[in-house]
Chain A
Amino acid sequence: METYTINVTVNGRSYTRDVESRLLLVDFLRDELKLKAIQSSCDHGSCGACDVIVDGMVVRGCLMFAIQADGCDILTLEGLMDGDNLHPIQQAFVEHHGIQCGFCTSGMILTAYDFLKRSPKPSEPEIREAIRGNICRCTGYQGIVESIKAAAKKL
């Protein structure tokens, strides 16, 4: 099996791994690095469950091969946490019912994180626009919108 050596920094830690060129970034994070927060759901870039932050930009983890992330700095949901302590956005999602089944949560929170960095004081329509690419099938979005609103106040 032909493999390629890649170096990535994930959540501040550097990794060197041999991967097949066809290994998707989402599968690399889940299966090689055992970071299981990110999920695969739609395979087509339609749902956002695999959203991850690469070099400071939120991208779809299912539309990128791991090898394309060679040399990149990656942030996953696990990296938002400070040890066992939840990030304020995570805390807000717990407190304001931004979570039901939890499958969209990783992508949703990373999208919110990226958004709040750019728009620290968002209006509700801006929040809804920011998460338009992240499907949640459980909450009807209102709990998520409230969570992001509350997180913005805390950050």
Chain B
Amino acid sequence: MKARKFLYEKPSTIQEAFELLDKHGSRAKVVAGGTDLLVLMKERQVELDCLIDLRKIQSLEGVRQENGSLVIGARCTHTFLSEDEIILKSLPILAQAAGKVSCRAIRNKGTVGGNLCNASPAADTAVALLALDAEVGLVSSQGRRLVALRDFLTGPNETILKANEIMEYLKVPVPGPEAKGNFQKLGLSTSGDGLYVVSVGVVLNLAAGNKMVKSAAIALGNVAPTAIRASEAEAFLTGKTISLGVIEETGRLAKEATRPKGEYPYLTEEYRRNMTEVLVCRAINQWVAGTV
């Protein structure tokens, strides 16, 4: 399994990258970690003339705080996201999701920008970031734009990213101190690595002192063409006092939001739908129990 031939470029600045993208058009692809793209290249499933490696472009790295949000460079690796102190403190659910990506050797290479641009319906970080109402900063020689992540993802391996654009950063509002998140992932093996079934990201904001939900964000991975938000479940939960019945109904509504595709002997659509319900309930239950 070897890749076809291609031109390799390693621009030092983002401007150089734009020039290359403008020159090669849709026959060029940018690569950061490459953990998704290289598989497609080796399977010869992707047509490309030129591979533009972003590794020298410093501006795509690092995290900074900005008006109650974190701005995260698109080339931050999953290892970085799962271990960086600022992220652990401000966006623990993102650290949790990044830490559940495959294994360390993959997390050391794979990047959050790559994960989002590859737009696998199963991307772990997308689920956490959707729950956090993240926005993504896209840039090209034509200028910059900031887009909500939920609008960025359009289908399996499909985004609104234009051929000449690069994802530069993510902007993630830091939830208030009383809000907390929980990320849950279910695979077909107990370790959660194997054949991914569903992942759930829940961020809840509770009124102090009681169990009344002020706001709720519930994101689901791998049960629809993109990672999605379970809006009806969120609307139902908002304003409610948490009880067993409320949790169950939230889970049921989340399940209603799913549209999984693909029947396999080892994994059925029905199972993925049912597990969405189970995982949403578990995520909230754990949250309530304080075991997150």
Contact = CB atoms under 8 A, between A and B. Distances in A.
Q: Do chains A and B touch in the complex (CB under 8 A)?
A: yes
B42 interface: yes
Given A22-B2, A22-B3, A68 B35 contact: no
Contacts, number: 81
**Does more than half of chain B's interface fall in helix, strand or loop, or is it mixed?**
loop
A154 to B, nearest CB: 23
B23 interface: no
Interface in B36-87: 38-39, 41-42, 51, 53, 55, 79
Given A24-B2, A63-B35, A133 B42 contact: no
B1 A60 contact: no
B183 to A, nearest CB: 17
A128 B106 CA distance: 17
A57 B108 CA distance: 7
Q: Which secondary structure dominates where chain A touches chain B?
A: mixed
B34 A68 contact: yes
B161 interface: no
Contacts of A114: 104
B160 interface: no
Interface residues of B, number: 29
Interface residues of A, number: 30
A59 interface: yes
Interface of B: 1-8, 10, 31, 34-35, 38-39, 41-42, 51, 53, 55, 79, 102-106, 108-109, 191, 193
Interface of A: 2, 4, 20-22, 24, 27, 43-45, 48, 51, 57-60, 62-65, 67-68, 70, 111, 114-115, 130, 132-134
